[in-house]
Structure 1
Amino acid sequence: MAWHQISVITSENTAPKVADFFSDLGAVSVTYMDAKDEPVYEPAIGEIKIWAQTRVIALYELTVDPANMKSRTLKHFQQEALEDWVFEEIADQAWERTWMEYYRPMKFAGKLWVCPTGQEQREENTVCLILDPGLAFGTGTHPTTALCLEWLASHDVTGKTVIDYGCGSGILAIAALLLGARMAYAVDIDPQAITAAEDNAVKNNVQDKIICCLPEQFKATNVKADVVLANILAKPLIDMVGQIAGLVISKGQLVLSGILAEQADSVIDAYQPFLLLNKPVQQDDWVRLAGIKR
């Protein structure tokens, strides 16, 4: 099946209104895209942050007349607020499989494989985590996740309790279990992430050793762990410093990621009262911090 794709550039304040209007006109999906190559790094927890100039993209069935959609939209908004209209007809695709063409097995510290379904690697003295791209962040391809996987594969977590705080796909919690951890908690504010983590745990046959939950559910457990991994962003890491550091037992290990290199000093300043920090480790523009709880 093919689709009409209609897109237009507008301001960050107008973009949500245009998106809602496209939906009201029967769009089967509406997405945002950066129109001016402007990075957005630091949304607050629960905040959806978009770009100053945003392209709003809507998909419609082929029965829809794109010119009519544009005309109706321009009657609802000021014409100068909407620019660079683009109409395209696009073929349907198996989007997950398209992404998989670019997703290949990855090996961390000579010990941990992360592989898509059908490309599993079985080598002696290694473990294989099976993970396919999905709705939740975390496949190991991004430096923030790769830095944490490298740490896990380089340290002995045998028999330990692990908390993956901001778990996304659950990749770090599952990796820890495959590497010998006794129990893992996968925590995220996004219910889709909890679902993804549960599904991935089943796929890797560790569902009996993992608890996936929202922060408010996790708080009720009063659990502290030998190892805590928090792959979030610098601002929430700093805002929640007491809460995150408090999850680690005395002499336990804390791993922080999602930190841009220029933000590292601020995060170090926040966590030094709680941790004996190791030297930061950098990959591309991103930094991993790790240390032992005082």
Structure 2
Amino acid sequence: MLEERWLSVQVIAPPDAWDAVATALLEYGCTGVELREAPPRVMGYLPEAQAHQIEPIRERLALFPQFGLPPVLEVSVEPVQAQKWQRSWRRYFRSRRYGNRLRVQPSWSQRKPQPDEIAIVLDPGMAFGTGNHSTTALCLELLEQYVSPGSRVADIGTGTGILAIAAAKLGAGEVIAVDNDSLTVLIARNNIDRNGVKDRVRVVEGNGWHALHGEFDLILCNILSGFLIDTAPLVPCYLREGGVYIVSGFIGRNAHRVRRALEDAGLRREEVRKRRSWVAAVFRKA
């Protein structure tokens, strides 16, 4: 399965258009998207078998100005194989420390964590989430502050499993990690096994919130603002009284819309953190 051929769809566009670009890529078959800052662009990854979706993607993006969105500057497509993807990660995925204790490093790193560090070892494969992006880094820092010993945690859109693993290593008693892509689920499970937390972390292949059961002390959702806004009414159904909802994946311009949707759902904003143009926020169920 790891030898499946993929297409990389690169869309160069202003950050104000990123949410709409990412939504279009996902709707037309991309199994994941990645936001990059230099130059500002959205990367989508489409199975080669879905190559017929390229033209509809281009047509959808060309309509943006009609809806008041900034125009897309360029769309390019090129093939990428799993082995090439993994080699490219090695060029820039390095051991890094987040917050006071967390250290994230690739499986091929020879660096030994310090005695006071909690190490998270990842092999990203074809999944997303290494800590390099500002939104993941912000979530890691907030997790360190808000995870309580023995708490029940959910991670929606787990990717590599990085946040779920961090929650478990910070003391969570049970973590449910959800993703809707079968290959990503496999990669997350391998990373969870590699980090020795499979007794507390369960990966579920499913459709976001609808894959969850019961209530949680803390829920993570590092996904685009459109998803956060659309699913805001569901959040209180899955949070215990006093429970915490950590969200990221959106830029400052969209922060007020995310806040309004979650406050309308009955949550209270507790904290906001920013890094470059990216935002993470903590909401609590009163």
Which 5+ residue runs of structure 2 have no aligned equivalent? Answer: 29-56, 63-73
Q: Which residue of 1 aligns with 2:132?
A: 141
Alignment of 1:75-154 (within 5 A): 95-117=85-107, 118-154=109-145
Select the residue among 30, 41, 50 that pairs with 2:19.
41
SS at match of 2:115: coil
Paired residue secondary structure (1:208): coil
Q: Give the match for residue 281 of structure 1.
A: 273
Query: TM-score normalized by structure 1?
Result: 0.72
Q: What stretches of structure 1 of length at least 5 have no aligned partner?
A: 1-27, 60-92
* Identity fraction in percent: 32
CA distance in 1: counterparts of 2:124 and 2:158, whole angstroms:
14
Partners of 2:164 and 2:177 within 8 A in 1: yes
* Distance in 2 (alpha carbons) for counterparts of 1:221 and 1:54: 36
Separation in structure 1 between the aligned mates of residue 126 and residue 136 of structure 2, nearest angstrom = 16
Give the letter for the 1:41 counterpart.
Answer: D
Q: Deviations over 1:100-138 (max 9, x none)?
A: 131111111121111112334422232100012321111
Q: State whether structure 2 residue 189 is matched by structure 1 residue 198.
A: yes
More helix by share: 2
Deviations 1:228-263 (A, max 9, x none): 001111001110112233221110111011011100
1:243 equivalent in structure 2 = 234
- Preserved CA contact (<8 Å) 2:249 2:280: yes
Per the normalisation by structure 2, the TM-score is 0.74
| Larger-Rg structure | 1
CA distance in 1, matches of 2:11, 2:267: 41
In 1, the alpha carbon distance for the partners of 2:131 and 2:216 equals 23
Q: Which residue of 2 aligns with 1:11?
A: none
Instruction: Note if contact 2:179-2:207 (Cα within 8 Å) is conserved in structure 1.
Output: no
Q: Alpha carbon RMSD of aligned pairs, Å? A: 2.7
Aligned residues: 236
- Of 54, 60, 80, the residue aligned with 2:75 is 54
Distance 1:220 1:35 in 2: 31
Segments ≥4 residues shifted beyond 6 Å = none
The alpha-carbon distance between structure 1 residues 170 and 251, as it changes in their structure 2 partners (threshold 3 A), is: same
Q: What is residue 260 of structure 1 aligned with on the other side?
A: 251
